[in-house]
Amino acid sequence: MKSLPSICAAALGALLLAASAAGAVAPASALTPPVVSRVQGTDRYDQAVQVSKEAFTTANTVYLASGEKFSDALSAGSVAGLHNAPLLLTPAAVLTAGTLAELQRLNPDHIVIVGGANSVNESVADKLVEKIPDAAVTRIGGADRFEVSRALVTNPDFGVPSSPWVYLASGSNFPDALAASPAAVTVNGPVVLVNGAETALTTAEAQLFDDLAVKNVRIAGGPASVSAALQASLTEHYTVTRASGADRFEAAAAINKEAFTASTTVYLASGLVFPDALSAAPVAGRDGNPIYLVQKDCVPAPVLAELQRLTPAKVVILGGTNTISKAVESLTSC
């Protein structure tokens, strides 16, 4: 990652100091401008490769999911983080040359394809077997995104064997589950995708909770994402909290405020488009760092407040300027 010019850090620091004077979490004298950098690729697949290159010299296991749909990669985020493993993305029909080269560089013993053949075609699995013959290729699929999520978590080799903590997030949209993925890693738990309109856990979900020996459930997002009725039914059996907000940006800030008391690095990702941040979730979680969501041209006030609270040494922007503009580099407020 290349650091931005010092003028960006100075501008960022000035904004934090001004916000501090207006009622910050930390006094102005305690705030030090973080170093700002950006990780970006030529497209969503190269973006995942660049994140992997920054974080891993080698890997025993690599997770591979669709870059055209967000659900399977969201399910893999926390699980990959718990396994200290990269998450790479692929089109359904063909493995990109860049992703293949990164897999060869990582030289894994195991490649885990997350999702069914409609998401990652058998032709991709065949290419992996051909080009990386020393790696065992395993597919974890299901009839839908929810079954994939459960199957991954319960997989004895590449899932989460047990955990008293589970994050629940809607499988219909990406922001809440994305922010929840690093947070879940901090408590050694998975993110489980659910149909947020449910009024109670399905039989399969209840069995998953029993298998994991869950005691605590954190709901990511408001009642429009995961229903109040589902929350009420959970409280009969588990200790339940919900982190939510007026919008996806405030909800992500609330998720991280509940999970992180300190952080050396903060990641900023688009709250409007999903691909650039998916592969960063395992890295952020592994290292105990949060992902916050921003607008294309500005940083929402709840995120600025979190930066004041955490005072990170580094801020890493995920994606190119078409997704997150240079205005965010200096923390332009929304």
Kindly report, residue by residue over 252-279, the tens digit of the pLDDT.
Answer: 999 999 999 999 999 999 999 999 999 9
Give the C-alpha separation, 297 to 331, whole Å: 9
Contact (Cβ atoms closer than 8 angstroms) between residue 58 and residue 107: yes
| Least confident span in 83-87, 106-110, 329-333 | 329-333
- Pairing label, strands 2-3, 35-39: antiparallel
Q: What is the overall mean pLDDT for the chain? A: 92
Global confidence as pTM: 0.91
Dig out the tokens for 188 from the structure: 């050694």
What percentage of the chain has pLDDT greater than the value 70?
Answer: 91
Q: Name residue 104's amino acid.
A: Q
- What is the four-CA torsion angle of 93, 75, 44, 271, rounded to 10 degrees? 140
Kindly report, residue by residue over 171-205, the tens digit of the pLDDT.
Answer: 999 999 999 999 999 999 999 999 999 999 999 99
Give the C-alpha separation, 105 to 27, whole Å: 46
Does residue 220 carry a pLDDT above 50? yes
* pLDDT band at residue 125 under the 50/70/90 scheme: very high
List, in sequence order, every residue forming a beta bridge with 325; answer none if it has no partner: none
* pLDDT band at residue 21 under the 50/70/90 scheme: very low
Start-end of H helices in the chain = 6-21, 44-55, 71-82, 97-106, 122-131, 145-154, 175-186, 203-212, 228-234, 248-259, 275-278, 280-286, 301-310
Does residue 208 carry a pLDDT above 70? yes
User: CA torsion sign, 155 to 159 to 165 to 168?
Assistant: negative
Tell me the CA end-to-end span of the chain in Å, nearest whole number: 26
Put residue 94 in one of left, alpha, beta given phi > 0 → left and psi -120 to 50 → alpha.
beta
Contact (Cβ atoms closer than 8 angstroms) between residue 219 and residue 179: no
Contact (Cβ atoms closer than 8 angstroms) between residue 249 and residue 303: yes
Give the C-alpha separation, 312 to 326, whole Å: 20
Residue ranges of domains in the chain: 2-330
Higher-confidence residue of 309 and 7: namely 309
Average pLDDT over residues 99-112: 98
Average pLDDT over residues 282-305: 98
Contact (Cβ atoms closer than 8 angstroms) between residue 174 and residue 274: yes
